[in-house]
Chain A
Amino acid sequence: MASKISIVVVSGERERLQMAAMIASVGAVSGDEVSVFLSMNALQHFRKDAKDAAPPEGPFGKLLEQKKAPPFKQLFQNAVELGDAKIRPCSMAVDVLGVKQGDLEPWVGEPMGLTKFLSDAHGGQVWSF
């Protein structure tokens, strides 16, 4: 029943990052092959020195902060460490943002181009946030 799940994350807003992280973590620990591609406004949050929490898009995002929802970065890390998910930054976003090797969280893999992401995603589910 295992399937392939590819998740494109471009939003820098908390609700979208949270939902993407929930799907990545639960999918990965359920035996699905999960691949996450980080680009655009999402990427900045995966720098080791990212201080600010992702801004909420609406009232639910504020609730996520007030209540004890697991932080999205923790869930992405769970996806990698407990479910062997692969989280890769978009090589274009890495170049535009000027991210150096070692700037990103250690559980984020090497930059990846779109051609490779698309060929890996072929035939599986694709989600975007």
Chain B
Amino acid sequence: MSERTIIDARGSFCPGPLMELIARLKFAQVGEEFEVLSTDKGSASDIPEWLNKVGHQLIDTREEGGVWHIALKKMK
């Protein structure tokens, strides 16, 4: 597994975690991987929806003790 950059958006509400992710993706290289941490359940479903819409790859999502981990790869 290549190294993933963690984006800690715990405590923020929708669409805060998505905006934090996008701000980071803007300056990232294609192929870079990120893992967003969110305590906002809405973001856990909304971020994958956004990735699908704009064409980045969702690697996986999992929940651990009330924190969602959304792993993804920048594709373009």
Contact = CB atoms under 8 A, between A and B. Distances in A.
Interface in A1-55: 1, 22, 25-26, 29-31
Interface in A60-78: 67-70, 75, 78
Contacts of A97: none
A101 B6 CA distance: 41
B14 A29 contact: no
25 contacts: A22-B15, A25-B15, A25-B19, A26-B15, A26-B18, A26-B50, A29-B19, A29-B22, A29-B50, A30-B50, A30-B54, A31-B53, A68-B11, A68-B12, A68-B16, A69-B13, A69-B16, A70-B12, A70-B16, A70-B19, A75-B19, A78-B19, A78-B23, A82-B19, A82-B22
A26 B14 CA distance: 10
Contacts of A30: 50, 53-54
Please tell me the size bucket of the interface on B. 10 to 19
Contacts, number: 40
Interface of B: 11-16, 18-19, 22-23, 26, 46, 50, 53-54
Contact of B14 (A1, A22, A31): A22
Interface residues of A, number: 14
B12 A82 contact: no
Interface in A70-90: 70, 75, 78, 82
B67 to A, nearest CB: 15
Given A29-B22, A70-B19, A75-B15, 13 more contacts: A22-B15, A25-B19, A26-B15, A29-B18, A30-B54, A31-B53, A68-B11, A68-B13, A68-B16, A69-B13, A75-B19, A82-B19, A82-B26
B49 to A, nearest CB: 9
Most buried by B among A22, A29, A69, A75: A29
